[in-house]
Amino acid sequence: MTSTGASVQSLGIGEVAERTGLSVHALRFYEREGLLVGPVQRTSGGRRRYTSLDVEWLLICVKLRESGMPLADLKYFAELVRNGPGNEAERLRLLDGHRQRVDAQIQALEECRSVIAWKVGVYADHLARGEADGLWGPRP
C-alpha cells in the first residue's frame, strides 16, 4: 500500500466501481465475502465510503481474480492481511503458488499460440499459391 495520506480520501461506491472496473454489485459481494482488508465505513445515512487504500487493495484483488486465483484463496489472502504482521511467509507461499499456476498457464498458451501461428502459415501459404483444396476439409 502507499502513503497514509492517500487513505484519507473518502469515495462513494460508484466512484470505486469506476476506478476498479468492478460493478457496484461486485463491490457489495466482495464486502459480504470478507475480501476487503478493512471494514467499509458508512455515512450516517448508511452509504458506503471507501478510502484510497481500499481502492488499491481492490485493484490487487481484480488482478488476482483476472489471473485465475480462486475466490477461496483470495479470501484467505485477505484474512492473512487483516491479521497483520507475522504471517508474511504464508502470504508469500500463497502468492508464489498462484504465480506458478499463472506461469504454467502462460506456457500452455504460448504452446497453443505456436501451433495456431504454424496453422495460419500453412493456410496463408496454400491460399497464396491458390492451392486451398484438401486443407482438412470434410471428405465427400
In contact, 81 and 91? CB cutoff 8 Å: yes
Q: Say which range, 4-18, 102-116, 126-140, has the weakest mean pLDDT.
A: 126-140
Amino acid letter, residue 112: C
- Residue 138 confidence (pLDDT): 58
Q: How confident is the model at residue 133 (pLDDT cuts 50, 70, 90)?
A: confident
Average confidence (pLDDT) over 7-15: 85
| Cβ–Cβ under 8 Å, residues 67 and 49 | no
Mean pLDDT of 83-93: 98
Q: In the chain, which ranges are E strands?
A: 41-42, 48-49
What are the pLDDT digits (tens) for 94-116? Answer: 999 999 999 999 999 999 999 99
The pLDDT, as a whole number, for residue 8 is: 65
Question: How deeply is 131 buried, as exposed, middle or buried, from its count of CB atoms within 10 A (0-12, 13-18, 19+)?
Answer: exposed
The answer, yes or no, to whether residue 126 has pLDDT greater than 80, is: yes
pTM, two decimal places = 0.80
54-73 tens-digit pLDDT: 999 999 999 999 999 999 99
Say which amino acid occupies 115. Answer: V
- Cα dihedral 32, 50, 76, 26 sign: positive
Question: How sure is the predictor about 11, in pLDDT bands with cuts at 50, 70 and 90?
Answer: very high
Structure confidence at residue 1 (pLDDT) = 46
Task: Give the C-alpha separation, 22 to 34, whole Å.
Answer: 16
